[in-house]
A and B are shown apart, each in its own frame.
Chain A
Amino acid sequence: MKYKLLSFARQIGLLLLVVWTVVSLVTLLIELVPGSPATAILGDQATTEQINNFNQKHGLDKPAFFFSYKEEGFDWHGANNRYMDYWIGLLQGDLGTSFRTDRPVLGMILERYPSTIMLALASMIVAISIAVPLGVLAGTNKGTLIDNASSFVALLGISLPTFVIGPFLVYLFAVKLGWFSPTGSANPEDIILPAVTLGAALSAILTRMVRSSVIEELGEDYVRTARAKGLSERKVIYKHVLKNGLIPVVTILGLQLGVLLAGAIITEKIFNWQGLGLLLLDDGIGKRDYRLVQGCVLVISVTYILANSLTDLVYRWLDPRIRLS
């Protein structure tokens, strides 16, 4: 019990450390912008007064960090700096004000966040409904043509980039067959093409996992017992093998939730899906709204990190062998 608590505490500690590093990196990244954000936003024709006003409004007139290094040596600025400002804001649930729209960044992100989560979940459903049957089929027919074919399809799914699958699906289902509209998120069925695009790689990875899990579990003693007591093969597989075999799959699934959120950026761009990724690309990077970029990167990466950690905990809880070691 003591060890369990200790390892739990260590995990939480590491998680906090990682989050702290990510926030710090994102906060300081804005310093990399060539020139100043003010001239990037206001243009070269801006007067000094306009620039000063802009800097003052967004706290850009303060020093970037606790200290800076010049030729004379270290210059100490104290706690009144941009890094601290960002942290103080963050802890109060404030991600700053957009450089372009003057709206709170958090509000802009929260507007788009549900669409991205919806897309990620939909693509997960697509992935699972492809991967579980295909993986079981391949695993129970190991070494046969079915197995090789499904392995090949899986490898194809992993190797084909989102931005190849997406336009291909648009070509096939929107241009040629006319079943779906090529872009947008107005109708409920508009989610299908983006979800398949985003879920393709995941379904490929999952298929491989389910396959090797099924092969491994089929060799276990309890399977022999289950067969010996006269259960049908179908019951053996779906009731016993899959139950145990899905443990590693859950992990991959959780880890992939983060990947999906990050990968959604490209899918959202292809289908003009109004999610967080498109907000980052079009409104953030496209309009050089660096405050918005900071916020988006921060929210996406923290979601990613939390999804990973949560999966790890679920995994430990599910599999006692891992819990005890």
Chain B
Amino acid sequence: MNRLTYIGLAIAAVFILTAIFAPFIATHDTTAQDLMMRYAPVSAAHWFGTDALGRDVFSRVVYGARISLEVGIIVVVVSSFIGVFLGAVAGFYGGWVDKFLSGYLFNVFLAFPGLLLAIALVAFLGAGLGKLILALCIIGWVGYARVMRGQVLKVREYDFVQAARALGASNFRILFTHILPNAIQPLIVQASLGMAGAVLSEASLSFLGLGIPPPAPSWGTMIEEGRGFDILYNAPHVLFFPALAIALTVLAFNFLGDGLREYLDPKQRSR
């Protein structure tokens, strides 16, 4: 693995630990307003300064990690389960099942611009954490399904699968105890990239005002609140720290995914 992968791993670890231990790290209440301290600059009392309502930006960024991690993990877990199941079924059974799933269903979801679908869903359903996660799962599963189908197509031809079949193992057993464990590797890559994607999509939707409603400290919402011309002019820290947090997090999971892909695929390693 190259150096960038380790950097990614380290930043991702910091992000996850920050999210888990947020109550111990945060110095202030994330919603506590102090109108005497609006747009206070970076200081010993407020490490990242304060925002328009005098709320502590550092504490909000710390708790923002929690929201991002929560959304990211749920979306990755749920959409990978759906994707793995459908992809495995399509690859294993082939025939009209595959024609319907990969030929039609996967193509429809691949053809639709993901963010637009999420925006449309949230627009009609209304904003909120649960609906946001639902929308991100609906757009997220197809990536896993496509990877899984390709893997299963490859693995099902291996000798040990033929051997299991010869021994009279059921389709279910062959698929879940023999093929899946041997096909799962690229999914780790997909999950890491998916994490970056989910964090990004959550922030995008929150930025557009379609994600988690305020006063919850979502990084996307914080960026939206800090991007006005006057605020940029007088208090750029309101925008800077959440932007840095999201950029680092997305970068970290992308580094990690790319590094893992190279590590797991010997053909790419030499390039």
Partner of B116, one of A160, A270, A297: A297
Contact of A266 among B108, B204, B255 (CB under 8 A): B204
Q: Can you give 14 A-B contacts (C-beta < 8 A)?
A: A14-B104, A14-B107, A18-B111, A29-B121, A159-B251, A163-B203, A167-B239, A170-B227, A175-B229, A266-B208, A269-B208, A270-B227, A293-B120, A308-B111
Q: A14-B103, A284-B123 are in contact. Are A175 and B232 (CB under 8 A)?
A: yes
- Interface of B with A (CB < 8 Å)? 4, 103-104, 107-108, 111-117, 119-121, 123-126, 196, 200, 203-204, 207-208, 210, 220, 223-224, 226-227, 229, 232-233, 236, 239, 243, 246-247, 250-251, 254-255, 258, 271
Question: What are the residues of chain B within 8 A of A262 when measuring CB–CB?
Answer: 113-116
Q: Are B119 and A280 in contact (CB under 8 A)?
A: yes
> How distant is A130 from chain B, measured CB to nearest CB, in Å?
19
Per DSSP, chain B at the interface is helix
Query: Given contacts A170-B232, A280-B119, A301-B116, is CB(A18)–CB(B108) below 8 Å?
Result: yes
- Return the contact of A21 from the options B108, B123, B251 (Cβ within 8 A): B108
| Contact yes or no, A167 B232, CB < 8 A | yes
Residues of A within 8 A of B124 (CB): 29-30, 32-33, 290, 293
CA distance A67 to B207 in the complex (A): 39
Q: Are A182 and B229 in contact (CB under 8 A)?
A: yes
Which range holds the interface residue count of chain A?
35 or more
How long is the Cα–Cα vector from A215 to B268 in the complex, in angstroms? 13
B121 contacts A22, C-beta separation under 8 Å: no
Interface centre among B104, B196, B203, B232 (most CB of A within 10 A): B232
A31-45 interface mask toward B, CB cutoff 8 Å, 1 = contact, 0 = none? 011100000000000
Contact status B243-A22, CB under 8 Å: no
B121 touches A155 (CB 8 A): no
Asked if B229 contacts A174 (CB within 8 A), the reply is yes
* Besides A212-B271, A266-B208, A300-B116, 10 other A-B contacts (C-beta < 8 A): A18-B108, A22-B111, A163-B224, A164-B223, A182-B229, A269-B207, A285-B210, A293-B120, A297-B120, A305-B111
Residues from 276 to 299 in A contacting B, C-beta threshold 8 Å: 280-281, 284-285, 290, 293, 297
- The 9 A-B residue pairs with the shortest CB-CB distance, nearest first, are A262-B113, A159-B251, A167-B227, A32-B124, A285-B123, A164-B243, A297-B120, A262-B116, A18-B111
Task: Report B-chain residues with C-beta under 8 Å of the C-beta of A280.
Answer: 119
A residues near B (Cβ < 8 Å) are: 14, 17-18, 21-22, 26, 29-30, 32-34, 152, 155-156, 158-164, 166-168, 170-171, 174-175, 182-183, 212, 215, 258-259, 261-263, 265-266, 269-270, 280-281, 284-285, 290, 293, 297, 300-301, 304-305, 308
Q: How far is the CA of A175 from the CA of B120 in the complex (A)?
A: 33
Chain A interface, DSSP helix/strand/loop, else mixed: helix
Residues of A within 8 A of B232 (CB): 167, 170-171, 175, 182
| Complex contact B123–A293 (CB within 8 A) | yes
Cβ distance B44 to chain A, nearest Cβ, rounded Å: 25
In the bound complex, residues from chain B placing their C-beta under 8 Å from that of A155 are 4, 251, 254-255, 258
Most buried by A among B107, B116, B125, B243: B116
The closest CB in chain A to the CB of B103 belongs to: A14
Chain A residues with CB under 8 Å of B115's CB are 262-263, 265
In the assembled complex, the Cα of A135 lies from the Cα of B225 at a distance in Å of: 36
